A = this chain, B = another copy of it.
Amino acid sequence: MKLLEERIRRDGRVIGTEILKVDSFLNHQIDVQLLDEIGNELYRLFKDAGITKVLTIEASGIAIGCAAARVFQVPVVFAKKARSLNIGTDTYTSRVHSFTYGNDYDITVSRRYLSDADRVLIVDDFLANGAALNGLLAVCEQAGASVGGIGICIEKGFQPGGDEIRAKGLPLQSLARIRSMSEEGIEFFED
Q: Report A48 CB to chain B, min CB distance, Å.
A: 20
| Interface residue A43 (Cβ < 8 Å from any Cβ of B) | no
Within 8 A of B (CB), among A79-128: 80-81, 85-87, 100-101, 109-110, 112-113
Query: In the complex, A110 Cα to B67 Cα: how many Å?
Result: 24
| Interface residue A58 (Cβ < 8 Å from any Cβ of B) | yes
Which residue of chain B is the closest to A64 with respect to CB atoms?
B66
Query: In the complex, A62 Cα to B80 Cα: how many Å?
Result: 13
Contacts of A59 in B (CB 8 A): 58-59, 62, 78, 80-81
- Chain A: residues with Cβ within 8 Å of the partner, total of 39
**Protomer copies:** 2
A23 near B66 (CB under 8 angstroms)?
no
Q: Report A130 CB to chain B, min CB distance, Å.
A: 18
Which residue of chain B is the closest to A69 with respect to CB atoms?
B32
B24 near A113 (CB under 8 angstroms)?
yes
Residues in A lying within 8 Å of B, measured CB to CB? 19, 21, 23-25, 28-33, 35-36, 58-59, 62-63, 65-67, 69-70, 73-78, 80-81, 85-87, 100-101, 109-110, 112-113
What would 26 A/B residue contacts be, using CB atoms closer than 8 Å? Answer: A23-B86, A25-B75, A28-B77, A28-B109, A28-B110, A29-B75, A29-B76, A29-B110, A29-B112, A29-B113, A30-B65, A30-B69, A30-B77, A30-B78, A32-B70, A32-B74, A32-B75, A35-B66, A35-B70, A36-B70, A59-B80, A62-B62, A63-B76, A66-B66, A85-B101, A86-B100
